[in-house]
A and B are shown apart, each in its own frame.
Chain A
């Protein structure tokens, strides 16, 4: 589209002028001007006054002001009347209208603005209720921290944490409104203290009369009292928790402590090779279901404990651990810690079928771009967990950046659902995520704690037979669930991450263009290690004949292959070039 065809050609021309100047000067404003330019250019609506441009992306008050100045100048030069400011015009119109049909609509004129009522469970609502806990005398007031602690249970949004890392306002922002409306007054410097005004007290009382408040309060009273008894620092409630966290932190970069719990074992190809075993039976009531949260799951670098604290507030005590795979997992913890060890398993925890991989939308896009997305799904798959929940948190993103990947994201989600069979849950913000996890935990508690669990003794499991064994059991007895202990699971998962020389060789082979995984596997079957392979090329000799032999080495040695495994002559030449100097 040409600039002249734009609906706002004159404004566009000015913006373009600034953009060009910024470009010339190499100024940092180029991006801002370009954004403004592009959004104005794409806008099909014609505007009279620059102030209306603020509704476009890329235009702020400053840019509109500058445009207004330009326009003023322009109008003066050309003897044109300056268009009215949209607000002024609206006001005039309104005045006219009301003047015109004042008799026709007298009601409207007399109608009074409704009394201010904060939205239910909003920040303002919670602040008023928080302050209403104070005795109704003049002297008492609360500091910000005290007030937040009192108010938070009444609010859906957080007073301390922005919705996501790209935002800065919290539920506390409503305090400004309350002060403005004179429901709350603040005093004191440097530490401000807050209290309700008389008007505020009236509102608070009325709120407490409503059915909605009474409904909420029934549940909130319990939760609130709980909270007061056990402040959101987990150390107090769960002695076992802190040690775990430390352990996880110290071992974060080391190989997993569980690594050698499960042996590798021989390769298992047939179902007949699978071991037979007597499962350890855990009867209902002998265990409880717990949520495991990965220590790396943080809201932000500066707010590491947010999720864990919030989960506690929702009534779910997470066990923090460095998880081998996934971000959230559920285990059944035996009441009797020695029960499993008496029967040939270790620890006192059983891994349940559910695992959650949490991804923020921007992370998801990043992982799609660099291929980690497939890799992570591959590892989840390898872990042998039946139910994977892929939790996507839709933080607000720059819409231009998001649009570019929208299709990729859609495609990734659809394929995760139907191809991998994972459950994809999308949430709006971390609080929703936490709420969902809490609800899911409650649901899993209900589901599992009334069932008996069959545990596969760890000694029959090997890294090689695990996935086949699990698959076999699921096919044989789809209605019965078999489980493994957490140490065994972690061991298997960490093993799946370790690379053998074979894997490295396969990867090295695959760096040659056209050498797909299937073909690399065939080459590796023939030549076991990089050393074997290089030596095979050596053996061809160095003269002309040898060179020719090198070039044909792979395709002639693997000539029995067909279909997608077939290695073509040109590919064989390429491989020889890399590995055999041919």
Chain B
């Protein structure tokens, strides 16, 4: 599909430049503003090219809209006959409904991931339109109209594609004029050509290309105008292809054509080819007149319309445009293109080319009326849109709220929030191991120049904040917050060095100074092996000492062994274990740090990861602790066994009462099969009602000869009839 899309795009470019000449220079600014307006007011649900403009640089939100649009647009064919107003509704609804869904999937993307998403969305829409075009082939006019639209759109993303289009268009025009009857077919063919030619884009004339970059923006503007010019086309297209989405266009266009469209639509839909042909036929004469003033009026009117539609606020500018528009000379290429456009736009009035003025006046009258209507519609539409937007926002908020309120006390859920910050001096092996383990848990990691040797710290990606009053998490813009834990990695040798030189105090104080208010974790790597080595050393010395005395008589042998030992001795000194143990206790008691021992770098990595995982759950676990702190027991999941069905739940519920065992519970359940019957029975029978109830021998209700007994009967009675919640006599 992708290549086709491109083709369409490539073929389409000619139009935008064409429209330009017709437009006054000022118009561009007007339209510019108008466009802005479009952006604001007219949004998602319009399937018209202008929307695409919006898309380009719009918020992420639009991407979702696009997705929606896709769906809508593909479906349209069956609905063409529907009245514009009515048809108008469905799209709104659909968009609304779609939006939240999408949001639910990835609310975060919505806010942040704009860049990657939008391009895709665009492509989609384009490709979609291409499919639409393909589907709508019978309506040639539509297609042509559509093509430009897309082109304009596409022009932004695919800067290079436009050049080809003018050529194809030029070809098309003549053909059409020659055989108006067959137009639909031929055009269709040409489209096919266009597709074929699409690969050509590289050919574009150099001048064009030079234009391109500068004009891109303007091209976009022109597109808007083009829409309005080509309203017939657009509308036709809309009607046929995308009836629901189409509605907005007439409103926007405001022009005479609105009425026509509705009529035309009816024509067109059943008779696919006739309507377009007419318009086409009209266009050729215009072409010849392209530079004549008669052509202008229509253009002008359109402009004004566009002004109206795009923004009632800028009528002056629109007028200005009108006056200015004519004198403007344009580059030949553009002119030719503009001609084509104008011819198209003029279609309705083509029969009365001689009486141009009357046509113009009439057109103006109609315009005025239409403008009023359009304004009204626009207002309504805006209201609806606002409403819809509010709804969508609401849903989006709800979705985001649901997302941030997901249970995150499970470390698997909360771990990806973490970022581990490693000291830049960390050993390569450990770094690699940590990286692998963390990547497996999708935890980000970076490095920093820690002021203390081998100090790790954590950061958290925060996207919600707990609202105490509402008792729930509220989404907030994502940010990265520092965590309250820091970890210092010391090897046994380093630690022993500190302990022996009595530098533990100063080292910890130094660390604390760099991490004020942090919980410190010290990982001591290899203390156990070190202890073993140290002990061995002592034992070797001892054995040597014993033997040395024995061998006082045989000095040669002793000298050999002692020589060897002396080498070792110079290298290592036995260090009293109590020095190390005292240093560790000092760390624990005086400095209040957590100490963890590991044996090897791999284990160190595993533990750092384990700490990362558990640190990620801290805020959520603490919160839950706080929320359930009013209960007198631990509410952690798994503390109370749950039942499988109502009866099982009932049995387990009874067993929550002190000294009620499973046999007692089953015995009671076979006597009173529901809670309410039990309560009734206890109310009527008094505290000893259950005394003689038989305990159950198995789950099926077989009874043993033992009974529940007085104490338990009384206790159950108190639980089920007690009115004092703080009573401890249960």
Stretch at the interface among B293-301, B437-445, B501-509, B546-554: B546-554
**Chain A CB within 10 Å — which of B543, B615, B724 has the most?**
B543
Instruction: Decide if A212 touches B723 in the complex (CB within 8 Å).
Output: no
Near B by CB (< 8 A), chain A positions 418-464 give 418-419, 421, 423-424, 426, 439-440, 443-444, 447
Say whether A210 faces chain B, with CB atoms less than 8 Å apart: yes
Instruction: Decide if A209 touches B549 in the complex (CB within 8 Å).
Output: yes
Say whether A410 faces chain B, with CB atoms less than 8 Å apart: yes
Stretch at the interface among B47-55, B92-100, B580-588: B580-588
Instruction: Decide if A414 touches B473 in the complex (CB within 8 Å).
Output: no
Note all chain B residues with C-beta closer than 8 A to A205: 549
Instruction: Decide if A206 touches B549 in the complex (CB within 8 Å).
Output: yes
Contact of A534 among B545, B632, B676 (CB under 8 A): B676
Instruction: Decide if A517 touches B550 in the complex (CB within 8 Å).
Output: no
**A229 to nearest B CB, angstroms?**
24
**A520 to nearest B CB, angstroms?**
8
Note all chain A residues with C-beta closer than 8 A to B582: 439, 443
Contact of B545 among A211, A419, A443, A562 (CB under 8 A): A211
Given contact pairs A117-B547, A417-B521, A501 touches B643 in the complex (Cβ within 8 A): no
Stretch at the interface among B21-29, B334-342, B593-601: B593-601
Near B by CB (< 8 A), chain A positions 389-430 give 410-411, 414-415, 417-419, 421, 423-424, 426
Note all chain A residues with C-beta closer than 8 A to B643: 511-513, 578
Say whether A34 faces chain B, with CB atoms less than 8 Å apart: no
Say whether A47 faces chain B, with CB atoms less than 8 Å apart: no
Contact of A417 among B596, B632, B636, B727 (CB under 8 A): B596
Contact of A506 among B581, B624, B631, B637 (CB under 8 A): B631
Stretch at the interface among A59-67, A294-302, A525-533: A525-533
Instruction: Decide if A378 touches B646 in the complex (CB within 8 Å).
Output: no
Say whether B710 faces chain A, with CB atoms less than 8 Å apart: no
Instruction: Decide if B470 touches A563 in the complex (CB within 8 Å).
Output: yes
Q: Considering the complex, give the chain B residue whose CB is closest to the CB of A107.
A: B560
Instruction: Decide if A508 touches B653 in the complex (CB within 8 Å).
Output: yes
B225-262 CB mask vs A (1 if < 8 Å, else 0) is: 00000000000000000000000000000000000000
Q: Please report whether the interface of chain A is mostly helix, strand, loop or mixed according to DSSP.
A: helix
Instruction: Decide if A511 touches B634 in the complex (CB within 8 Å).
Output: no
Note all chain B residues with C-beta closer than 8 A to A513: 642-644, 649
Q: In the complex, A293 Cα to B317 Cα: how many Å?
A: 92
Near B by CB (< 8 A), chain A positions 510-549 give 510-513, 516-518, 520-521, 524, 528-532, 534-535, 537-538
Given contact pairs A120-B539, A423-B595, A511-B656, A374 touches B636 in the complex (Cβ within 8 A): yes
Q: In the complex, A444 Cα to B589 Cα: how many Å?
A: 8
Instruction: Decide if B628 touches A578 in the complex (CB within 8 Å).
Output: no
Note all chain B residues with C-beta closer than 8 A to A387: 592
Contact of A375 among B621, B631, B634 (CB under 8 A): B634
Given contact pairs A578-B650, A581-B676, A424 touches B594 in the complex (Cβ within 8 A): yes
Instruction: Decide if A378 touches B649 in the complex (CB within 8 Å).
Output: no
Note all chain B residues with C-beta closer than 8 A to A503: 631-633
Instruction: Decide if B638 touches A371 in the complex (CB within 8 Å).
Output: yes
Q: In the complex, A580 Cα to B624 Cα: how many Å?
A: 29
Q: In the complex, A521 Cα to B625 Cα: how many Å?
A: 13
Q: In the complex, A367 Cα to B512 Cα: how many Å?
A: 35
Instruction: Decide if A114 touches B547 in the complex (CB within 8 Å).
Output: yes
Near A by CB (< 8 A), chain B positions 619-675 give 621-622, 624-625, 627-628, 630-644, 646, 649-650, 652-653, 656-658, 674-675
Near A by CB (< 8 A), chain B positions 492-532 give 519, 521
Q: In the complex, A498 Cα to B726 Cα: how many Å?
A: 11
Near A by CB (< 8 A), chain B positions 547-585 give 547, 549-551, 557, 561, 578, 581-582, 585
Instruction: Decide if B594 touches A563 in the complex (CB within 8 Å).
Output: no
Instruction: Decide if B675 touches A579 in the complex (CB within 8 Å).
Output: yes
Instruction: Decide if A447 touches B589 in the complex (CB within 8 Å).
Output: yes
Given contact pairs A117-B546, A580-B676, A418 touches B519 in the complex (Cβ within 8 A): yes
Q: In the complex, A210 Cα to B547 Cα: how many Å?
A: 10
Note all chain A residues with C-beta closer than 8 A to B653: 508, 511, 578
Instruction: Decide if A418 touches B632 in the complex (CB within 8 Å).
Output: no
Instruction: Decide if B675 touches A510 in the complex (CB within 8 Å).
Output: no
Note all chain B residues with C-beta closer than 8 A to A507: 633, 640, 656
Say whether B541 faces chain A, with CB atoms less than 8 Å apart: yes
**Chain A CB within 10 Å — which of B473, B519, B549, B677 has the most?**
B549
Instruction: Decide if B405 touches A415 in the complex (CB within 8 Å).
Output: no
Ranked 4 nearest A-B pairs via Cβ: A517-B635, A563-B472, A378-B634, A210-B545
10 further A-B pairs in the complex, CB-CB below 8 A; given A418-B618, A501-B725: A120-B543, A206-B546, A210-B541, A264-B726, A411-B613, A439-B585, A499-B730, A501-B730, A506-B633, A521-B631
10 A-B contacts (beta carbon < 8 Å): A112-B557, A212-B538, A212-B542, A381-B625, A411-B411, A439-B585, A443-B585, A499-B633, A506-B633, A580-B675
